Amino acid sequence: MPIPVQTAVATDQTRTDQTPAIFLDELDEGAARWFLGERTWVRAAGAQTGGALGLVEQVVTPGFASPFHVHRGEDEAFYVLEGQVRFVGADGSRVLGPGGVAFLPRGVPHGFRVEGEAPARILLIATPAGFASFVDGLCEPAPPAGPPDMAALMAAAARHDLEILGPLPA
């Protein structure tokens, strides 16, 4: 018996009152792009989820650290698939390994760093879906030759109600 579905139109930053269509997808390793120099797949965005959530998958190199930042418009959760990731907040930090979950609510400054010698593979879930379009807009088709363009990062962050506070605290 077919599953009844409805279609919905949503932006990445708003949730609609309509029921979104069912969305199914498989990972295509070859379709990776590069966000802040790290291999990235935007697995689901607002267009696929009715604005409910965004899902980003990344393979992040050892030593990579996100900027210390705060989301004003979405909550963020991470699920660590592989590797060791240190999550940092104003009150301290903690390293999580495979199976670890971090919930980072909107309005709370945070960031992360990959620890150890191995890359980390993470799933990032943002609710609602606006953060996925931020990532997608900054992704590059190939590994960049140099560091991220901080002016472009800051401008995109401002458009997505995300504040970059500086480097990740030690």
Mean pLDDT, residues 116-129 = 97
Domains of the chain (ranges; CATH) run: 36-142+149-166 (2.60.120.10)
Summarize pLDDT for 136-164 with one digit per residue, the tens. 999 999 999 999 888 999 999 999 999 99
What pLDDT does 19 receive?
72
Give the pLDDT of residue 46. Answer: 92
* pTM for this model (two decimals): 0.87
Contact 44, 53 (CB under 8 A): yes
Residue 22: phi and psi, rounded to 5, are -65, 135
Question: What are the φ/ψ torsions at residue 40 (nearest 5 degrees)?
Answer: -145, 145
pLDDT > 70: percent of the chain: 89
Nearest CA-CA partner of 117 in 69, 84, 80: 84
Q: Specify whether the CB–CB gap between 138 and 165 falls below 8 A.
A: no
With bands split at pLDDT 50, 70 and 90, how would you rate the model's confidence at 21? confident
